[in-house]
Structure 1
Amino acid sequence: MDPSSPPFLLAKLTPLHSEQLLQGLNVLRQHQELCDVVLRVGEAKIHAHKVVLASISPYFKAMFTGNLSEKENAEVEFQCVDEAALQAIVEYAYTGTVFISQDTVESLLPAANLLQVKLVLKECCAFLESQLDPGNCIGIWRFAETYGCHELYLAASKFICQNFEDVCQTEEFLELTHSELDEIVSNDCLNVVTEETVFYALEAWVKYDVQERQKYLAQLLHCVRLPLLSVKFLTRLYEANHLIRDDHTCKHLLNEALKYHFMPEHRLSHQSMLLTRPRCAPKVLCAVGGKAGLFACLESMERYDPSKNSWETVASMADKRINFGVGVMLGFIFVVGGHNGVSHLSSIERYDPHQNQWTVCRPMKEPRTGVGAAVIDNQLYVVGGHSGSSYLNTVQRYEPISDSWLDSAGMLYCRCNFGLTAL
């Protein structure tokens, strides 16, 4: 260093400087000094600095820097903003703090949303999410949808589904519109022990204003997974429930549900599959077939439940299999091809977890061992493998509703024992 150079110090005091700057600006505002805009709500007038407001709000920035008349005006009138909410947002601009309570949030959130003050809006949403309970979750759900608060809307929707058995006992639930109720009870994540809860909730909603709401019963009954109800319950509804008995469409839906129990061939119809998906189905791991030791092939299947940390043996396949393909679609497990220890297989089997049984389906056109299988759009693609005499590049597509096979474009090369996935 040159000894003749004057000494200097560069002090980095950014947090202290920022705090001092805000405090200084706030003092100027409180004394109405150097203020260049007045925000008027009714008879109330709020003095502020345009540059401060524009720094925290794209709404104010556009107002004061664009081609709007407010750019030159010293006074701006607001007609759709609550006075206390606007005052709170101006305070936030100068202090970085805002007071949120049950009394203020309903006016503060719409104001923050309109003025595009994102941090205040985020804090309002977080506050409402922390206040969710069975008695207010539907109101918060509607509120979030009205103001486009997507994350709060999802949180409230999740809360409604998780606590449905309590929520459906509230006054808010009975005051739902039919379209809102349809959206809720259609949700796959509705947390109910039995579909009876869903039916009784719909029935209570209809009876709350039966003259006006009875016309929606059939539409809403479509949302109940009727085939998951017992034969006894379905029969009792058919015989004793006058709301059901007097509606032709409702009776038809019950008939279809009874067919599911008494006529297994109807279970693969598209409608039956939609109506038998369990709510909040637990995720389990299935181990199917394979080898026990050096030579023994297995037809058995075991199921692991992570929530219980336990394995259980379930129904066995019709055929022993190794080196087969497997896919999951429409709530069923499909296993295809493979080898049974003696010969290559062209057969395919379907496992129904609700009935705990396997069904043999229409076989492939040729046997395949070491095959690849993947599901796209509820169709099972079976690719390559070995037929017992040659390696294959052919691809077949299985359509479960019609229980039929179609040829698809073949691979460029023959392959066996390879990896395959749908993306």
Structure 2
Amino acid sequence: QWAEIKMMDHTSPTYMLANLAHLHSEQLLQGLNLLRQHHELCDIILRVGDVKIHAHKVVLASISPYFKAMFTGNLSEKENSEVEFQCIDETALQAIVEYAYTGTVFISQDTVESLLPAANLLQIKLVLKECCAFLESQLDPGNCIGISRFAETYGCHDLYLAATKYICQNFEAVCQTEEFFELTHADLDEIVSNDCLNVATEEAVFYALESWIKYDVQERQKYLAQLLNSVRLPLLSVKFLTRLYEANHLIRDDRTCKHLLNEALKYHFMPEHRLSHQTVLMTRPRCAPKVLCAVGGKSGLFACLDSVEMYFPQNDSWIGLAPLNIPRYEFGICVLDQKVYVIGGIETNVRPGVTIRKHENSVECWNPDTNTWTSLERMNESRSTLGVVVLAGELYALGGYDGQSYLQSVEKYIPKIRKWQPVAPMTTTRSCFAAAVLDGMIYAIGGYEKVYFMVNMFLSSFNRPFLGVGAAVIDNYLYVVGGHSGSSYLNTVQKYDPISDTWLDSAGMIYCRCNFGLTAL
């Protein structure tokens, strides 16, 4: 039937009906609007002060649940021919009535602040949506705080989120504006507590708080300790913390502020202090714009890569970066202090008639400021298919394969002294396994020794052996996903609760997967 309709010419009855319906809609609106303009057949007058706006109840009720309830419910306005409004701007009400009869509304910087509250009160969703879209398009460092508060007042959730995101992404520009200095201490605390604050260093957050307090120091210095709690103080350098302690009298004269600085200094000088729950919270990095780094790997049976490239989600583009010093694959990789570390792996050298595979203990570090790779101290053991995690500012290399044996040893790299140190070994050898950090603990999940598939040995019993799993942490649960059981690929998902030391089943994936990527977003 659809094919037959498509082939009909423009003289067919179906086409003529569709065309007439469109013309009829236009003619109906135009006719109703002419009746309104000439005050003909109007049955309601909307009054704002001395201004009277003539309209038809049926038209207003058709575009507004507010008017529909007023004119069809048990309210007195149902029988009245005039309704007075005291909380709506007269220009905004006129614009909304015009919209009811024409389907168009004019939004500008001069009208939006009165039009949005009116559309919100009268529940005219399309006008409200257009007002929010207009304000979002007008966001800049000087008005984004005001727009976020405006959106919050009128329950415009999407606009509020957009304005909050803009504040975070442009924080260093926003904190120079008059709106910033007029924030209440509660509003400022909400902003600087945000994990997604886009700052080059945590120093920018401290300086922003300091400038806000100095704007009215007599009234605001009492809030310093509360606001300082929102600064990730352990992320500041020892030099910066010491200078604050010595030179900033506002901090030096406040007992709570001095305590906060002392706790931050303990993070740098007392490694055991880094595992406390409070310190973990205070060392969460801010969510600056993220990128992906694709590093090394294989592109063929014997082709080992040294190339590196970076993906920018903001503009959907890739760029090439400086290549690795050593081509490698099956290595460990992590980010520590905004630098990329590549650990171990396999280097392949192809010579006439022979291919040499070398299991590496070498380590390279990429600095994004200089786009250079630097060779660091070698691990004590060569490792491929290893697990790598970062905990309390230190890098851990777990297990793997050295070309002859499967390993259970673990060693950690301490950046400050530039050394690898052995730590307690795992309870079993592991290769091709998943590793994750949860609540200051390192977890090793699955993997195998030679052909023997391994079960997690140091937690409560897991219900299946597996290889090639994914692991990630969300909301204090360790999720273990997919893998291979030795006889089949898996789509299973289980999560580990460290408090009760129990595994819980979760909904399985749509597809079975092994040797895949899993990350918490």
Letter in 2 for 1:292: E
What letter is aligned with 2:426?
M
* 8 A contact 2:202–2:236 mirrored in 1: yes
Which string of whole-angstrom CA distances, capped at 9 and with x for unpartnered residues, describes residues 207-231 of structure 1? 2222332221111111122223232
Structure-2 separation of matches of 1:19 and 1:277: 58
Give the one of 386, 400, 410 matched to 1:324.
386
Distance 2:419 2:60 in 1: 67
From 166, 173, 187, give the equivalent of 1:180: 187
Cα 1:353–1:112, aligned 2, differ >3 Å: closer, same or farther? farther
Pairing partner for 1:75 from 82, 106, 122: 82
What's 1:411 paired with? 463
**d(CA) in 1 for partners of 2:364 and 2:48?**
69
State the Cα distance separating 1:180 from its structure 2 match: 0.7
Q: Shift in Å at residue 26 of structure 1?
A: 0.5
**Does 209-218 or 7-16 show the bigger shift?**
7-16
Q: Retained in 2: the 8 A contact 1:302–1:311?
A: no
1:135 is matched with which residue?
A: 142
Equivalents in 1 of 2:126, 2:375: separation in Å?
A: 53
CA-to-partner distance for each residue in 1:353-401, whole Å, 9 max, x for gaps? 99987665543222222334456677654333334695433344xxxxx
- The answer to whether the 8 A contact 1:129-1:152 is kept is yes
2:105 corresponding residue in structure 1: 98
What do residues 332-355 of structure 1 show as CA deviations (whole Å, max 9, x unaligned)? 765432222333222345668999
Distance 1:122 1:360, change over 3 A: farther
Please tell me the root mean square deviation across aligned C-alpha atoms, in Å: 3.1
Q: 2:417, 2:56 → 1: CA distance?
A: 70
Asked whether the 8 Å contact 2:410–2:426 carries over to 1, the reply is yes
1:338 aligns with 2:345: no
The whole-number CA distance in structure 2 between the counterparts of 1:317 and 1:73 is 86
Indicate the residue corresponding to 1:274 in structure 2. Answer: 281
Which one of the candidate residues 337, 347, 351 is aligned to 1:292? 347
- Partner SS state of residue 401, structure 2: coil
Cα offset for 1:20?
A: 1.6
In the TM superposition, 1:11-50 aligns within 5 A as 11=16, 12-13=18-19, 14-50=21-57
Whole-Å separation in 2 of the counterparts to 1:48 and 1:382? 72
Q: Does the 8 A contact of 1:381 with 1:395 survive in 2? A: no
- Judged with a 3 Å threshold, the aligned counterparts in structure 2 of structure 1 residues 42 and 356 are, in CA distance, closer, same or farther, namely farther
Of 425, 450, 456 in structure 2, the residue corresponding to residue 363 of structure 1 is 425
- 1:392 and 2:454 correspond: yes
**CA distance in 2: counterparts of 1:366 and 1:52, whole angstroms:** 76
Task: Give, in whole Å, the separation in 2 of the partners of 1:22 and 1:358.
Answer: 78
Q: Which residue of 1 aligns with 2:247?
A: 240
Q: CA separation in 1, counterparts of 2:156 and 2:421?
A: 47
Work out whether residues 284 and 303 of structure 1, in 8 Å CA contact, stay in contact via their aligned partners in 2: no
More strand by share: 2
2:57 maps to amino acid: K
Q: Distance in 2 between matches of 1:56 and 1:355?
A: 70
**Cα-to-partner distance string for 1:309-329 (whole Å, 9 max, x where unaligned):** 967356454432223345577
Partner of residue 151, structure 2: 144
How much does 1:295 deviate?
A: 3.6
Point out the more displaced range, 155-164 or 106-115: 155-164
SS in 1 for 2:444: strand
Distance 1:64 1:188 in 2: 48
Give CA deviations for 1:7-36 in whole Å, capped at 9, x if unaligned: 984512233222221111111111122222
Distance apart, 1:189 and its partner CA: 2.5
Residues 317, 112 of structure 1: alpha-carbon distance in 2 compared, 3 angstrom cutoff: farther
Describe the shift of the 1:354–1:19 C-alpha distance in structure 2 as closer, same or farther (beyond 3 A): farther
Higher relative contact order (CA 8 A, sep 6+): 1
Shift in Å, 1:284: 4.7
- The alpha-carbon deviation at position 50 of structure 1 amounts to 1.8
1:337 aligns to what SS in structure 2?
strand
| Residue identity in the other structure for 2:360 | L
Distance 1:362 1:350 in 2: 10
Residue type of the alignment partner of 1:202: L
Q: What is the TM-score with the length of structure 2 in the denominator?
A: 0.69
Residue pairs, 1:210-289, within 5 angstroms: 210-281=217-288, 282-285=290-293, 286=333, 287-289=342-344
Structure 1's unaligned 5+ residue stretches are: 1-6, 397-406
TM-score by length of 1: 0.84
* 1:312 aligned onto 2:362: no
CA distance in 2, matches of 1:353, 1:173: 38
Distance 1:212 1:310, change over 3 A: closer
Partners of 2:400 and 2:394 lie apart in 1 by 19
Return the structure number with greater helix share. Answer: 1
- 2:67 corresponds to which of 57, 60, 67: 60
Structure 1 residue 129 displacement after superposition: 1.6
Question: Which runs of no fewer than 5 residues in structure 2 stay unpaired?
Answer: 1-10, 294-332, 334-341, 349-355, 472-478, 480-492, 494-521
Q: Name the CA distance, whole Å, in 1 between partners of 2:205 and 2:133.
A: 30
Counterpart residue identity of residue 409, structure 1: S
CA positional deviation for 1:48: 1.3
Identity, % of aligned positions: 67
